Amino acid sequence: MKTAILSVFFILCIAGTAHSQLHFGLGPQIILDNTILGAQARVFFEHDNTWRGSGAFTYHLDNVFNWSIDFDAHYKLLDLGNSVNLAPIGGLAIIDGNGGTQIGVNIGAFLEIDIADRNGYIEPKFIFRDGTAIAISTGIFF
């Protein structure tokens, strides 16, 4: 199952880069429900000036969740000055934990910030599955 999920993730990333710009990011994630911390790697691709997508793998540093994979679509809504843009997001979450693997729905916002020569991001979102959780991711693109 893990192999199939990761294979689909990489195929989508490679297929999306044919006509897009690709970024890689690293950073922490916190799930406010039970205060679960994780280390996250992110692939971000821009399809055009309006639509973007991202895939993220998070390794959770807790006994409740082992790992999660997120696939999100971004709609670039507005630029807040020259160095900040805001995009609402929606997508799917695949979460592996003590209760088995679950699929959830992500809804939130993606805030991209230009910091010197790097782009940083903050992504608060709701994850709807058996219950609702709030996750906040932040990091830097390379």
Q: What pLDDT score does 98 carry?
A: 77
Q: What pLDDT score does 1 carry?
A: 54
DSSP 21-90: EEEEEEEEEEETTTTEEEEEEEEEEE-SSSEEEEEEEEEESSSSEEEEEEEEEEE--EE-SSSEEEEEEE
Query: Which domains are assigned to the chain?
Result: 2-141 (2.40.160.20)
pTM for the model stands at: 0.80
Q: Is 115 left (phi over 0), alpha (psi -120 to 50) or beta?
A: beta
pLDDT in tens, the chain (142 residues): 556 555 555 555 555 444 458 889 999 999 998 788 999 999 989 888 889 999 999 999 887 778 999 999 999 888 887 788 899 999 999 998 877 888 999 999 999 998 887 889 999 999 998 888 899 999 998 8
CA distances from 132 to 13, 64, 74, 109 (A): 28, 15, 21, 16
